[in-house]
């Protein structure tokens, strides 16, 4: 069975590449992926595969039924893009100004579409049900996963698998981890209200920029002095805005950033400590503040049984040269919500472009992948989907 799966996927590799490149040229932002969703749904309809659109928003869910009864296995791919200008010099460069697939979601979608087509061709020999979850809006909280789950995409699902094409690792690498593999990703905003004035008369003002600057520095003490050193955590200020005139002391300043944690206790500690520091710093300067801490995606926590099973499946893929346990990643992923509902695992498939020793990181204007990684991802996911029923 696995040999048939591999042969069929290899025969459809060019189609996989074509789909990925078409999507790369026509990216759509989170919650705006209307044409992408139509494209995915039309693909399934042409193959006469059961499909439902508008799942939890722009999500698409397709199902393939094996001839014999068995478990229900879900496989997930996301399909939204990012607000980044594509700077690559390639024939499939984004045609949409200021929008590009800079995280591999086009490759995820192409992988899953061709895998679904292949499993449909083999359905007379398969057991159970195969659910293909095409998720919108992974990049922007609250994300698409939670709304798709609420709309029933996990109904009767026994196990779920997902992968992320990982451009920082060589093609042929599969990275796994039992337990937390990606962090909870929270967002915060801090508005400082001081008293503005003339740049030559600072004694008559409450300088919001100085206060905000002190807050930036003071917040760094949370991870270094309040969080247990054995617990991973990140507090990052990503945006600092204020009055931009050279001779004006700003009355307002705004800080925006993110907190990344794996442990909910640490997450709560950081939120409390942030407000304590902000309040104390503003009190010292005589300023006031507004602090908003928005919980984002929870940590992605892989099931042990399914993770071990996945590594055994990866061993059956000839193109996989390295299977290794990875360190926890501080990036966020709303695949976390699926794993809160059903057992499963999320893993990384190496996709560093050939000839690019550095490899542009995810979310970079020149981001790209080695498209051969899609075939490896499809084979690995395919083996997992089939072997969960004991079919070799």
Claim to verify: residue 201 and residue 291 sit in the same structural domain: yes
Query: How much is the average pLDDT of 246-275?
Result: 97
Residue 332 included in any domain: yes
pLDDT of residue 244: 85
Residue 392 included in any domain: no
Claim to verify: residue 217 and residue 155 sit in the same structural domain: no
Claim to verify: residue 160 and residue 209 sit in the same structural domain: no
Angle between helices 13-25 and 34-46 (to 10 degrees): 160
Claim to verify: residue 39 and residue 104 sit in the same structural domain: yes
* Other Cβ atoms within 10 Å of 272 Cβ, number: 12
Domain end among 276, 297, 318? 297
- Give whole-number Cα distances, 335 to 143, 259, 308, 384, in Å: 10, 18, 18, 17
Residue 90 included in any domain: yes
Q: Cis omega before residue 131 (within 30°)?
A: no
The active-site residue, picked from 33, 86, 138, 368, is: 138
The active-site residue, picked from 28, 80, 169, 207, is: 80
> Residue 23 sits in a domain of what CATH number?
3.40.630.10
Claim to verify: residue 178 and residue 198 sit in the same structural domain: no
Confirm whether 189 is a catalytic residue: no
Q: Report yes or no on whether pTM surpasses 0.85.
A: yes
Claim to verify: residue 235 and residue 383 sit in the same structural domain: no
Confirm whether 138 is a catalytic residue: yes
Tally the C-alpha atoms within 13 A of residue 155's C-alpha that lie toward its C-beta: 9
Cα–Cα dist 72/367, whole Å: 35
Domain end among 246, 280, 297? 297
* pLDDT digit string, tens, across residues 289-329: 999 999 999 999 999 999 999 999 999 999 999 999 999 99
Q: What is the largest CA-CA distance in the chain?
A: 82
Residue 42 included in any domain: yes
Instruction: Provide the domain count of the chain.
Output: 2
For the residues of 57-84, what is the DSSP string, one character each? TTEEEEEEE-SEEEEEEEEEEE--BBS-
* pLDDT digit string, tens, across residues 31-79: 999 999 999 999 999 999 999 999 999 999 999 999 999 999 999 999 9
Cα–Cα dist 354/217, whole Å: 41
* Other Cβ atoms within 10 Å of 85 Cβ, number: 12
Chain-wide mean pLDDT for the chain? 96
Claim to verify: residue 18 and residue 139 sit in the same structural domain: yes
pLDDT of residue 55: 98
Residue 28 included in any domain: yes
Domain end among 259, 278, 297? 297
Q: Is 262 in contact with 183 (CB distance < 8 Å)?
A: yes
Q: Could you list the residue range(s) of the whole structural domain that residue 210 is in?
A: 184-297
């Amino acid at each position: 069975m696995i040999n048939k799966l591999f042969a069929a996927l290899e025969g459809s590799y060019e189609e996989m590449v074509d789909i990925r490149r078409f999507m790369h040229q026509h990216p759509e932002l989170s919650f705006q992926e209307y044409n992408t969703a139509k494209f995915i749904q039309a693909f399934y309809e042409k193959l006469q595969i059961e499909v439902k659109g508008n799942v939890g928003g722009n999500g698409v869910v397709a199902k393939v039924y094996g001839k014999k009864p068995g478990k229900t296995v879900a496989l997930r791919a996301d399909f939204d893009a990012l607000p980044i200008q594509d700077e690559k010099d390639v024939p499939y460069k984004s045609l949409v100004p200021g929008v590009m697939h800079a995280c591999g979601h086009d490759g995820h979608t192409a992988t899953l579409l061709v895998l679904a087509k292949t499993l449909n061709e083999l359905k007379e020999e398969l057991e159970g049900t195969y659910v293909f979850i095409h998720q919108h809006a992974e990049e922007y909280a609250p994300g698409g996963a939670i709304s798709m789950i609420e709309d029933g995409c996990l109904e009767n699902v026994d196990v779920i698998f997902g992968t992320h094409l990982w451009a920082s690792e060589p093609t042929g690498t599969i990275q796994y981890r039992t337990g937390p593999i990606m962090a909870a990703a929270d967002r915060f905003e801090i508005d400082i209200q001081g008293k503005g004035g003339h740049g030559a008369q600072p004694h008559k003002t409450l300088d919001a920029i100085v206060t905000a600057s002190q807050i930036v520095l003071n917040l760094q003490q949370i991870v270094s002095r309040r969080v247990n050193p054995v617990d991973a955590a990140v507090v990052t200020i990503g945006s600092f805005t204020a009055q931009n005139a050279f001779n004006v002391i700003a009355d307002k300043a705004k800080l925006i950033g993110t907190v990344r944690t794996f442990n909910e206790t640490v997450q709560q500690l950081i939120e409390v400590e942030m407000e304590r520091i902000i309040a104390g710093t503003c009190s010292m300067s005589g300023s006031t503040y507004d602090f908003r801490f928005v919980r984002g995606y929870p940590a992605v926590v892989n099931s042990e049984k399914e993770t071990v099973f996945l590594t055994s499946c990866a061993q059956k893929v000839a193109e996989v040269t390295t299977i290794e346990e990875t360190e926890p990643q501080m990036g966020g992923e709303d695949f976390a919500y699926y794993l809160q509902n059903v057992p499963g695992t999320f893993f990384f498939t190496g996709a560093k472009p050939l000839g690019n020793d550095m490899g542009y990181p995810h979310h970079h204007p020149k981001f790209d992948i080695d498209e051969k990684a899609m075939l490896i991802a499809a084979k690995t996911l395919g083996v997992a989907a089939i072997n969960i029923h004991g079919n070799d």
